Structure 1
Amino acid sequence: MNNMAVLLRTITVIALTLSSTAEIAQVTKADARQTAQRPNVILIYADDLGYGDLSCYGSTKVKTPNVDRLASQGLRFKNAYATSATCTPSRYSLLTGEYAWRQKGTGIAPGNASLIIKPGRSTLPGVFKAAGYQTASVGKWHLGLGGPEGPDWNGDLKPGPVEVGFTHSYIMAATGDRVPCVYVENHRVVNLDPKDPIQVDYKQKIGDEPTGRENPDKLKMKPSHGHDMTIVNGISRIGYMTGGKSALWKDEDMADVFTKQAVQFIESTQKNKVAAQPFFLYFATHDIHVPRVPHPRFVGKSGLGARGDALLEFDWEVGEILKTLDRLQLTNNTLVLLSSDNGPVVDDGYQDQAVQKLSGHRPAGPLRGGKYSAFEAGTRVPLLVRWPGKVKPGQSDAPISQIDFLADFAALLGQQYNHTDAPDTENQLNALLGRDPTGRAEIVEHAGTLSIVQGSWKYIDPSDGPAFEKFTSTELGNNPQPQLYNLATDLGEKRNVANQYPARVQQLKQRLQEIRQKATQ
């Protein structure tokens, strides 16, 4: 080969190399742009956390510095709502974009309930999964497991979270006060000895395990009402259980176990930096739900009894998540949301001194009612949103409902969803990110009866239910007559002005009826 040919070949190789390098650079820039538009998303979903329980929402009796850090770096909403005043329906609505009251069997689920979210339908985790995200559910589930025949605790527990859009799950089936008291990873009970099979019954006693009713001397925490069936870890529960001794949880370790699982999931998504997928983590903590048995390192630290100590434990969990994002340099490209499934309750079944040691703390803040209630404290909850560089820190008055999270993130990620499956979710992404101060035109609240908030007006539909729950000392908001409140001047819902504004009552009643009929049209 002569010198000219060698020169030409060299020039060709250099040109091809430069061209290839330019193409790689273009692809890398494109990937970087796509990654920037597809943030990691963490939804920290607290249990029974009230509007007044956090120091960033005005609490002076308990300090929550890690949550406060999230608030100071993000957006704090004053008018954010769960859809229901209890856990199962709120979680159903959050994950499906459909109001739970449209479907039978979506009330507070027993520990042996079948899965109430139909596999194959549109879901919030399904939206992320379709967008190429790794998705995980860690913590409280309380949406049932298994088919119509119920859960097979000694076999494959499916369908469950994996069948409705999560690529990984590490959960408790229901709540801490309900059997079975075991962890479930994907489709199996963790640490189950097949020679000691689990049996669960919610109608009659099975086996010879001691119960709170029969053996109160074996309890380290006594029930105040109900919660007197099978004893696990010195605490009597709702429901009967036998077997599975090697798999039983220890309540004091629950926050540590779930937090470790959440951190490990985040870490696992970063093992291969080149091919790392974005992730969605639904971190549903069990605090501050009963039984409140925080780890010994938190006991007595709040001065407010077990409930206050559980608030400190929850704040620690939030801090561990934030520290993990900082350590892995994920903070700037991770959207973190923190909210609650319903409002607060103090005595919810155990003698844990939460009532006696409130010491002036107001879990509902300025709101009336609490968990189970049609009044504002039942469903108006904290909501914090942090996304550095994308969400301007501050405060928002925009009305926000968790029912819209499915449509919000579908819009953010450019994904489609089945509007028949999710008839109630609507795109309020700009309000969620602080770009629109208007928010939702109306909020629908569910607590036995339905309520609607439109602007400053709130209408509560008549109900024949009890006005007061004596066991939990909760004003339930039920009334056989229509109720109308002007929240702008009467946030505590003390003055029912339905008689003064009959036209407003009729307008809101009609609008609520239209919403009820929406899915059948």
Structure 2
Amino acid sequence: MKKKCGSLGVFLCMGFVVASAVVGAERPNIVVFLADDMGWGDVRCNGNEKMITPNIDKLASQGVRFTQCYSACGVCSPSRSAILTGRTPYRNGVWRHLSGNGPSHLRASETTYPELLRAAGYETCHVGKWHLLSKNQFNNPEFPQPGDHGYDYWFYTHNNAAPSHKNPNNFVRNGEPAGELEGYSAPIVAHEGIHWLDEVRDPSKPFALSVWFHEPHAPVATDPRFSSLYEGDRNAKHLGNITQLDFALGALLDALEERGLSENTLIIFTSDNGPEGKGGATGGSTGGLRGRKRNDYEGGIRVPGVVRWPGHIEPGTVSDVPVIGSDIFSTVLAVCGIPQPTDRTIDGVSMLPAFEGKPVARKTPLFWRTHVSPPEDRLAMRIDNWKLVANDTMTAFELYDIPNDAQEENNLAQQMPEKTEEMKKILVKLWKEIEAEGPRDWWEGEKQKPKSGGKLSY
């Protein structure tokens, strides 16, 4: 693997010193839960009375629920990369859904929050889906694996649980295939996280745990005890799959409570993008928002968002402040007393003010670019109330006042040409900056191949 060195190595050492010098409080543990293809409307606490999600709802009642929480992309690999790096996906190299073979991956040169926490004395663990490598790179030491991005322990799959959520056989634990596992994916993932808490981690150290579920991504397989809760509904399997995830989340939350860890643990729950399918019997709910997965309208990128931090967040808080997946990076560093890197652009900001419903100060506007296949690239940018949606060539634009038109039914571009032009100029400039920082050759045909040693230059 390409090693980090020079100024970044110095920064990591400095991060350790600063974090070790935090005075007056024990450093908090960090747990980040991530659902896969869960729509904004797929939880009861966001108004879907059909859903049975008692643990997510309880988490919201104990902390803050964000009504305008966004993933950093309309598909999963890019949005996951932003969570770990605080950087919009095109900057960090994960510019599209990493479904096949190719050079793209989360670059070794990127700095993740688990890396910085590990350098500061944290124990780190990832359980569940990864999907930050191309298929040919999974569990291949020539490419950066979770251990190269800051995790001491990892139990992961490339993409989906296979052959489905039931009895998956494609998990790898610290480089070794785990074989066929009996049960359903989310409870299996939660059980592994509990095993790590009890049997692996050093209890004298603070910890950071990533729990990235596969549910409710297709192909769905649901334990009958959960699908039966929706008996008679044509979408019972999918709905039950979300309750299956909720059950697994609850098991881990109970484990934290039983071990006396809850009070000093920051918990974040969100999703990687909006729901798959067309709704009804074929997918989840956007809560009435326009668009779905693979789309930069609200339904493709607005997702559930809940944060609990006892003693720091007033229980039952509802925040309308827009936040995005890349903010997780900055927030985790802020609560752990670790400085952000200064040698690169960080798009995310700390959500700490938003925990109280106060606005956050952004240098970089909220930005999305979701690539499916030409000409289906889409871009979007939000500044305050205003959201601009553009086509892939940035020649056609739509303007929406999101707080007053969350369904994006009223395109104001022609009615407000001056505001549209103002937003357009900012978007074009922002994209040029992002494009210049990322590995442009990867997204221009993905023609770059590994050299003789099998290693890439990124």
Which amino acid is the alignment partner of residue 430 of structure 2?
I
Structure 2 gap segments, 5+ residues each? 1-19, 371-376, 438-458
Partner Cα separation in structure 2 for residue 264 and residue 34 of structure 1: 31
Show the counterpart of 1:375. Answer: 297
Partner Cα separation in structure 1 for residue 236 and residue 299 of structure 2: 21
Structure 1 residue 48: Cα displacement: 0.6
- 2:82 aligned with 1:82: no
Partner Cα separation in structure 1 for residue 360 and residue 354 of structure 2: 10
CA shift digits 1:382-423 (9 cap, x unpaired): 1101011111121111111111222222233232343444x1
- 2:420 aligned with 1:498: no
Structure 1 residue 495: Cα displacement: 1.4
Structure 1 gap segments, 5+ residues each? 1-30, 191-246, 348-353, 465-478
Show the counterpart of 2:148. Answer: 163
Q: Give runs of aligned pairs for residues 97-136 of structure 1, distance below 5 A.
A: 97-102=86-91, 106-110=95-99, 116-136=105-125
| 392, 400, 412: which one aligns with 2:314 | 392
Structure 1 residue 269: Cα displacement: 6.2
Q: Give runs of aligned pairs for residues 243-282 of structure 1, distance below 5 A.
A: 247-248=179-180, 252-268=183-199, 272=203, 276-282=204-210
Change (3 A) 1:308 1:175: same
Which amino acid is the alignment partner of residue 187 of structure 1?
G
Q: Name whichever of 49-58 and 445-454 sits farther off.
A: 445-454
Which amino acid is the alignment partner of residue 171 of structure 2?
Y
Show the counterpart of 1:409. Answer: 332
Larger Rg: 1
Partner Cα separation in structure 2 for residue 33 and residue 327 of structure 1: 27
Change (3 A) 1:386 1:319: same
Partner Cα separation in structure 1 for residue 325 and residue 251 of structure 2: 24
SS in 2 for 1:311: helix
Which amino acid is the alignment partner of residue 399 of structure 2?
L
Q: Give runs of aligned pairs for residues 288-327 of structure 1, distance below 5 A.
A: 288-303=216-231, 304-327=235-258
- 2:385 aligned with 1:456: yes
SS in 2 for 1:339: strand
- 2:173 aligned with 1:185: yes
Q: Is the 8 A contact 1:113 1:143 kept in 2?
A: no
Partner Cα separation in structure 2 for residue 42 and residue 169 of structure 1: 14
SS in 1 for 2:96: coil
Change (3 A) 1:152 1:172: closer
Which amino acid is the alignment partner of residue 385 of structure 2?
S
Structure 1 residue 380: Cα displacement: 1.0
Show the counterpart of 1:16. Answer: none
Partner Cα separation in structure 2 for residue 435 and residue 398 of structure 1: 6
Structure 1 residue 322: Cα displacement: 1.1
Change (3 A) 1:36 1:318: farther
Show the counterpart of 2:29. Answer: 40
Partner Cα separation in structure 2 for residue 65 and residue 93 of structure 1: 28
CA shift digits 1:448-505 (9 cap, x unpaired): 32111112211111347xxxxxxxxxxxxxx963101112322111111100101111
- 2:287 aligned with 1:356: no
CA shift digits 1:35-84 (9 cap, x unpaired): 83411110001111111110001011112111111000000011111110
SS in 2 for 1:395: strand
Q: Is the 8 A contact 2:187 2:247 kept in 1?
A: no
Change (3 A) 1:51 1:39: same
Partner Cα separation in structure 2 for residue 335 and residue 397 of structure 1: 20
- 2:368 aligned with 1:445: yes
Task: Report the RMSD for the aligned CA atoms in angstroms.
Answer: 2.9
Which amino acid is the alignment partner of residue 168 of structure 1?
Y
Which amino acid is the alignment partner of residue 152 of structure 2?
T
| 261, 272, 275: which one aligns with 1:341 | 272
Show the counterpart of 1:71. Answer: 60
Which amino acid is the alignment partner of residue 331 of structure 2?
D
Q: Is the 8 A contact 1:111 1:174 kept in 2?
A: no
Which amino acid is the alignment partner of residue 443 of structure 1?
L
- 2:343 aligned with 1:424: no
SS in 2 for 1:385: strand
Which 4+ runs in 1 deviate beyond 4 A? 31-35, 111-115, 177-181, 269-272, 438-441
CA shift digits 1:186-242 (9 cap, x unpaired): 12222xxxxxxxxxxxxxxxxxxxxxxxxxxxxxxxxxxxxxxxxxxxxxxxxxxxx
SS in 2 for 1:36: coil
